[in-house]
Amino acid sequence: MSLQISNEQLRTIAREFGTPLYLYNADRITHQYTQLQTAFQHSDKVRFFYACKALTNLSILKHIKQIGCNVDCSSINEARLAVHAGFTPENILYTSNGIAFDEIEEAVALGININIDSLSNLEKFGKKYGHSYPVGIRIRPNIMAGGNLKISTGHENSKFGIPIEQLQDIVQLMQQYNIHIAGLHNHTGSEIKDVDVFMKVSSVFLDMIPHFPELQFLDMGGGFKVPYKDGDEGTDIQLLANEIMAFEKKIAVTYQRNFQIWFEPGKYIVSEAGYLLSKVNVLKPTATTTFAGIDTGFNHLIRPMFYEAYHRIRNISNEKGELKKYAVVGNICETDTFAWDRELNEIREGDVLVFDNAGAYGFEMASNFNSRFRPAEVLVKDGKAILIRKREVFEDLLRNQVEAF
């Protein structure tokens, strides 16, 4: 199993498929999932659902299915993609957020697992389905967590989930409409390194259990941190597994009940498997810095601009070049600086730069801003580079437009 794609292979793939290009390593995806399975091998109650909002390419979804992982969906279209990729309904989880009730109705028609995150939709669900369809509820525990406020979803000002202080309203609706509440769900955010955050959630769940006699699962969400910079540490998955097993024992002792424990890792599974390959269009020396203008921008990778996220950047065309400092910038008519004052091997026009850890929320958040094409996607599997999405062309910009004149 090769966890890294060599620079030589990256250069070859850049020549074959062109740039900008998203590239994914199937071996690394498999490895990440195996790490989770190994850590939790002593618990038969833990299930993992890949949070596919990180990357929904059908070939990636099919690989996720092949390695035995379930899938978590944030929209009904993601659920449709999961079905199209071959996942069976019991292995698909759909967690709503501020959506119209007809999405939930379609999810019921698909027969998939559902979490509801508002009292309004919970009441509508109760009126229509009563006890006939098990459902989970997403709780907002008022816990601040995550690597950036924009990816923190469990704090007291978050739009996500039903506030914990509205517990009695949930119970009242459950009793009024005889709703089969099968699960409790929470997701506090992304880039969570501190295992204690998950255990704070477990304490919230522990106090809620007596209110729900038909519970079957406790969904802890995802958000495991992955290393981006040299020296970064990710979430200690083995420590988390140990804490969760202790939590399971505590439930058994306290209530004489047992539940499945669900997690929704997305970034953890695909981030380190992904690369964004780009070509240097132009060098622009100034009095204060040298700009390296590349053939991509925040239309392809918005995380550095949106979240102030760090991505390691490497010049794979001049690996032994003298180290110099550059501002790596995109070709978009907005400020799209990927890195400022970044030390890289000397950059020349035409060199290929690689962004590491680009598998999660890279292509998935891409756009056609400035009427530029979205890049191709390639998967390296069994040592072979396979095209899994064509590069867009001009006709794609015209598709679905209706010319009125």
Domain map (residue ranges) of the chain:
40-265, 271-398
Query: How far does the chain reach from its first CA to its final CA, in angstroms?
Result: 56
Q: So what's the pLDDT on residue 189?
A: 65
What is the rounded CA–CA span in Å between residue 269 and residue 70? 12
- For the chain, the farthest-separated pair of C-alpha atoms sits apart, in whole angstroms, at 72
| Sign of the alpha-carbon dihedral angle for 166, 169, 175, 178 | negative
Helical axes 76-84 vs 58-66, angle rounded to 10°: 60
Say which CATH class 40-265 falls into: alpha beta
Architecture of domain 271-398: Beta Barrel (2.40)
Binding residues, by number, are 223, 303, 307, 334, 361
For the whole model, what pTM was predicted? 0.93
Q: So what's the pLDDT on residue 156?
A: 60
Averaged in consecutive runs of 10 residues, what is the pLDDT profile of the chain (405 residues)? Answer: 91 98 98 96 92 97 98 97 98 92 97 96 96 94 51 55 90 97 84 80 89 95 87 89 92 94 95 98 96 97 90 97 97 93 97 97 96 98 96 97 95
* DSSP string of 236-265, one letter each residue: -HHHHHHHHHHHHHHHHHHHS---EEEE--
Q: Which residues are catalytic?
A: 333
Q: So what's the pLDDT on residue 141?
A: 78
Binding residues for substrate, by number, are 303, 307, 334, 361
Binding residues for pyridoxal 5'-phosphate, by number, are 223, 361
Q: Which of 328, 327, 400, 331 is nearest to 370 (CA)?
A: 331
